[in-house]
Structure 1
Amino acid sequence: MDTSLADLRKSYERAELDESASLPDPLKQFETWLDQALKAQIPEPTAMTLATVGPQGRPSTRIVLLKGLDARGLVWYTNYGSRKGEELAAHPWAALQFHWVELERVVRIEGRVDKVEAAESDAYFASRPLDSRIGAWASPQSQVIGSRAVLVANAAKYGARYALHPPRPPHWGGYRLQPDRWEFWQGRKSRLHDRLRYRLDGSAWVRERLAP
């Protein structure tokens, strides 16, 4: 490498996050930031890192896409038999992180995770493109396979079986994380970043500033 990684630096100077300008409800604050990310047309604004913990206490992360958001929590969809599905079955707590690089912002969220209702998963599955619905049947997610040809063969098999109307697989559906902690991070100059944490105390949100 021609450039030393230790010498790579960036000064964050786009915005600030002050208590007086932030909203008392973290969900409303998140919706405001998400709306700004969407309007800025940044790449993959709904992409979020999902962190889970396995039965032996070993953490793992992956990127999933936010597909629902309301007072009940944040929703994504996946294969229940995947590594993340197995880990959530063992430890139903997780963390999410959004990193909107262009806006110099990070949002971190923690809370309990539960499966969404079957009807909700059915409705979302029906809205997906046909190829994605067939793909949910074709991929034994997180399992070892011999080659890509396995996926192609599975897609052909299930495409022939279900044609234009594949039902939702029983092993596929949604999860909802119900937050009990949020953190909003805004990059600032001289590494004196703004960090506001919201933590649930009973039924009320407590907003606190954290040192960077």
Structure 2
Amino acid sequence: MDLASRKIAIIGLGYVGLPLAVAFGATRDVVGFDINQSRVDALERGEDHTLEAGSDEISAASRLRFTTHKAQELGYHPEVILAGRRINDGRGRHAADQTARLMMRKGIPVVGSRILVMGAAFKENCPELRNSRVADVVARLKEYNAGIDIWDPWVDAQECARAFGITSMKDIPDERYDGVIVAVGHRQFRALGVDGLKALCKTPGVIYDIKGLFLRHVTDGRF
């Protein structure tokens, strides 16, 4: 098989598929397929709302085309590309459970407690909620009957309400919480610094850092 002459079809132009399509499209014939017509239209204009690829990168992929049609109908023989990402479906539940355990060890009742989840987007510095695993964190905390706030300066508050059942806050909250979970590594969260992070938490309180954004000794637990 002459691999250099093979055409490539990439199915799904999300945060994994699009960067692959752009990378291969600079040197190989590639068709990027997505069922979302508005997504395809935006990419054809060089716009990526997930911020995974800039307009200059999309433009540089001169051998890449986008479509909602089946790749086979265009004469492409799809190669199945298995990206090296492992999504642990239990990660969000684990983070919530660990936070609850740490609170109980400090004598903080979890039922009726107030917990702040920092971040809802699927990745740092991005407004996209699709594929976000933070939903698992929130769902598990709800099972503990905890009161939950979400602070995310990037996502649309109403879209967050539809996805998670909680309207997110754009600005830093002025409340102090029993528990704080750092779920996304937004630059605004990093800019808080240690003092800013601790100011969000009661004494006693629990800080659980899923993203490892802060030094280990600053937090009570991390993933």
TM-score by length of 2: 0.21
Higher relative contact order (Cα pairs below 8 Å, separated by 6+ residues) = 1
- Which is greater in Rg? 2
TM-score by length of 1: 0.22
| Structure ranking higher in strand proportion | 1
